Amino acid sequence: MLHLLVNQTHAESAASGATAAPDVHIRRQDEWVRVSVALGPDTSATAELERRWLSRMAVRHGGRMELEGGMQSVLLPADGASDQREVVELRKELEQAQQLGEAYARELAAAFSAGDLPAERPSSPAPDTAPARVDLLVSAAAALVRLMRDWLERLRAESNTATSELGETAPLAQSLARWVSGGYELFAELNRLAECPRDEAERRVDVLEVARETVREAEARAARHGVDVVVEAERGVSAELRRVAFAILLRALVDHAIAATPRGGKVVVRLIGREGGIELAVEDGGPGVPENVRSALMLHRVDPTSLGRPAGLALLIAATLAPYLGSPLGMRERDGRTEVFTRLAPN
């Protein structure tokens, strides 16, 4: 960072003479350390890319970059400043806890004496509301796809420019490449949903064949995350359902499981014949979820990252499509691992 910051003055130094050296100002400003240089003429073709990289690196280290007049500055947190803020906040929290006193203790005791918190059971919406919810979600996805297509093309162009001018190993080029990859993953997810037929009819579907096809399509994403995906199913598993909608639901569950599973882990897709239907379950290696918030998590009424689960639309897509296909989405623990499941129509 300092090398690129000082490099912004090189042109000015060269004009002043071979022995001229740039002036670098370093001083403490409240809870920041400010490192400033006087800008020289913009003679470098990569000056703008370097400034963008400097700004992003400053933010990554908890600071920021400022440009005022002819001075360019990088502000970084001073040593101990964040610790002092944490101590002040901790003292405030302790004072608030002390003020609660006995009243807090009584409420806590009452909660424990009442037993376990009631579990949230996934409720299936009325038959006439499920198609309306799917229609709304498909329309929103189509609108976002139209917006994102141009954004991602521009981002990819900038990423290619950074790679060609700075090299593949440059931090800015690598950072942009990661953003492009993540953006196109989200775009593909939305595009699949946007192409879901709104008037698809039910028909006999080989569920195992759809599961294997979906896993094959997700192999590239699984490889990027370092995760294996396997299918466990009985032969000849079939059901009457909307094939495209089912494939989108299954892909959403697989994508969520891949994102939730640590690198080197495994995702298992299970298809098991049950009395009155077929159970679809996708098991991942992510952290468990308390029973009383599972329904809220699947409907994105709570922040998934606050529970250690991946952010994104996958669970919401699956939770919206599952009632449309005949059964609500559920979540449970199986041998210490998390499973998301639903029940398909009778075979």
- pLDDT band, very low/low/confident/very high, at 245 (cuts 50, 70, 90): very high
Q: Is CATH 3.30.780 the right assignment for the domain spanning 2-77?
A: yes
Sheet (strand 277-284) strand order: 228-233, 266-274, 277-284, 337-344, 330-334
What are the pLDDT digits (tens) for 301-323? 888 888 888 888 889 999 999 99
Instruction: Name the residue among 194, 189, 201, 54 with its Cα closest to residue 137.
Output: 194
**SS in 3 state form for 135-178?**
HHHHHHHHHHHHHHHHHHHHHHHHHHHHHHHHCCCCHHHHHHHH
The pLDDT score that the predictor gives to residue 106 is: 54
Q: What is the pLDDT at residue 227?
A: 93
Per-residue pLDDT averaged across 53-65, rounded? 84
Residue 220 neighbours by CB under 8 Å, 6+ apart = none
What pLDDT, on the 0 to 100 scale, is given for residue 318? 92
Tokens of 20: 């001229």
* Separation of alpha carbons 261 and 172, rounded Å: 27
Is residue 222 within 8 A of residue 267, CB to CB? The reply is yes
Average pLDDT over every residue of 11-25: 58
**Among residues 233, 232, 250, which one has the least CA distance to residue 241?**
250
> Which residues lie across from 68 on neighbouring strands?
71
User: How many whole angstroms from its chain centre is CA 138?
Assistant: 20
Q: 36 - beta bridge partners?
A: 25, 73
Q: Which residue has the higher pLDDT, 2 or 121?
A: 2
pLDDT value at residue 30: 81
Where is mean pLDDT largest: 80-89, 119-128, 140-149? 140-149
List % helix, strand, coil for the chain (3-state, nearest 5): 50, 20, 30
Q: How many CB atoms lie under 10 A from the CB of residue 137?
A: 19
Q: What is the average pLDDT across 206-221? A: 90
Q: Which residues pair with 271 in a beta bridge?
A: 233, 280
Percentage of the chain lying above the pLDDT 70 cut: 79
pLDDT on residue 11 = 47
CATH number (2.40.50.140, 1.10.10.200, 3.10.620.30, 3.30.565.10) of 202-347 reads 3.30.565.10
Span 64-106, pLDDT tens digits: 888 887 888 988 888 765 556 666 666 676 666 566 555 545 5
Secondary structure (H, E, C), 48-69: HHHHHHHHHHHHHCCCEEEEEC
Provide the token pair at 130. 């499920």
β-partners of residue 223 are: none
Closest CA to 245 of 328, 164, 134: 134
Query: pLDDT, tens digit, for every residue of 247-258?
Result: 999 999 999 999
The DSSP symbol for 304 reads G
Tens digit of each residue's pLDDT (9 = 90 or more) over 151-175: 888 888 888 888 888 888 888 888 8
Per-residue pLDDT band at 115 (split at 50, 70, 90): very low
- The upper half-sphere exposure of residue 61, i.e. CA atoms within 13 Å in the direction of its Cβ, equals 17
Q: For the residues 184-211, what does the mean pLDDT come to? A: 88
Read off the pLDDT of each residue in 225-239 and give the average, rounded to a whole number.
Answer: 85
Mean pLDDT of the chain: 81
Q: How many CA atoms lie within 13 A of 201 on its CB side?
A: 2
Cα 30 → chain centroid:
35
What mean pLDDT do residues 192-220 have? 89
